Amino acid sequence: MVSSSDPDVSTQIIAQAKSSGASLAGIASIRSLRNSPSHRVHGKPVWPQGAKSVLILGLHHKETEPELDWWDGNKGSPGNRRLINVANGLIEWLKKEFNSNAYDLPYHVEKGGIFLKDAAVLAGLGTIGMNNLLITPEFGARVRFRALVVDRGLEPTSPIDFAPCESCDMHCRQVCLQKAFRSGSYSRTFCNEQMETDRATRVIVKEEKKDLPFEYIKYCRACELACPVGK
Ligand code: B12
């Protein structure tokens, strides 16, 4: 019989996630996530009953496909909807293959979601960079995340030894329109001012295009797109 923490099970799950459309996937234990910096400092979500593992999915948001990132209020953005579809397919697959229950977590922490960057670090997808974003070896910071919790103790994928910012002259910080790193670390308040400007200058389109709404917000990605990793 295959044990649920068998590394082979985790390998199969990650392979299935990638073949369903995720660019990256990894696994962390709920126990490690409960103790991660953001969950320790900013309160603990109410985890679905029986949750033992987190499956974190990443989608590459290529610079050449900016529309993946445009927010329209209909479950976020086209990229987020893609991730939701991958997550829903995996929920069915996990039930069928391993008789495991999995739940797709909301995006927002205040609605029961988790801190996705913490989960991605713990699952070994990358490291927190000088732009305050999760930097992956493959795609730099140009990745968006979604998470599922699973009611089985799956073998985690471990954090990686990856420090790309050590030898970088921090283009990410130089391009920030709000100088949000002026104190030497990331300021949520200054960054959020840009997000508010972006909301106020939302795009209203006249012509309908596939999977794109009439109105959407192009949130700033300057610190993300300036990152040379994975280019
Ligand atoms: C609220 C929010 C915002 C707010 C506030 C951001 C903030 N960092 O405080 C605003 C609106 C300003 C914002 C802006 C942006 N956001 Co935002 N945001 C979120 C959201 C919903 C929650 C993040 C949060 O509140 N974190 C808590 C704060 C305190 O954490 P923090 O500043 O990141 O610092 C923590 C980590 O660095 C961590 N940490 C540090 N070192 C280590 C080491 C280890 C081992 C571990 C485990 C953790 C860890 O501990 C710190 C303290 O808690 C997440 C989605 C989610 N559910 O997670 C997306 C998310 C973080 N945002 C994302 C993005 C892309 C952006 C923007 C580029 C805008 C855009 N185009 O989407 C900017 C970039 C800002 C930046 N440079 O950080 C992505 C990040 C992807 C990535 N590659 O990292 C996320 C994950 C959403 C997604 N779709 O995947 N965001």
Domains of the chain: 7-163 (3.40.109), 166-225 (no CATH)
Look at residue 209 and tell me whether its pLDDT is greater than 70. no
Ligand 1 atom closest to the Cα of residue 116 is: 58
Residue range 106-126, pLDDT digits in tens: 999 988 899 999 999 999 999
**Contact call for residues 143 and 60 (beta carbons, < 8 A):** yes
Q: Is 105 in the pocket of ligand 1 (CB under 6 A)?
A: no
Task: Find the 148 Cα to ligand 1 centroid distance in Å.
Answer: 18
180 Cβ below 6 A of ligand 1: no
Please tell me the predicted confidence (pLDDT) of residue 212. 61
pLDDT at 184 over 80: yes
Q: For residue 206, what pLDDT band results from cuts at 50, 70 and 90?
A: low
Region 193-205 average pLDDT: 88
Q: Please check the confidence at residue 75 and state whether its pLDDT lies above 90.
A: no
Q: Is 96 in the pocket of ligand 1 (CB under 6 A)?
A: no
Higher pLDDT, residue 202 or 43: 202
Residue 2 confidence (pLDDT): 45
Total-model pTM: 0.95
Residues 6 or more apart whose CB falls under 8 angstroms from that of 16 comprise 90, 93, 97
Residue 143 contacts residue 61 (beta carbons within 8 Å): yes
The stretch 128-156 carries a mean pLDDT of: 98
132 Cα nearest atom in ligand 1? 78
Residue 1 pLDDT greater than 60, yes or no:
no
Q: Is ligand 1 within 6 A of the CB of residue 55?
A: no
Query: Would you say 160 and 120 are in contact if contact means Cβ atoms under 8 Å apart?
Result: no
Instruction: Check if 194 has its Cβ closer than 6 Å to any atom of ligand 1.
Output: no
Say yes or no to pLDDT of 214 above 80: no
Angle between helices 78-98 and 7-19 (to 10 degrees): 140
Given a cut of 60, whether residue 68 has pLDDT beyond it is: yes
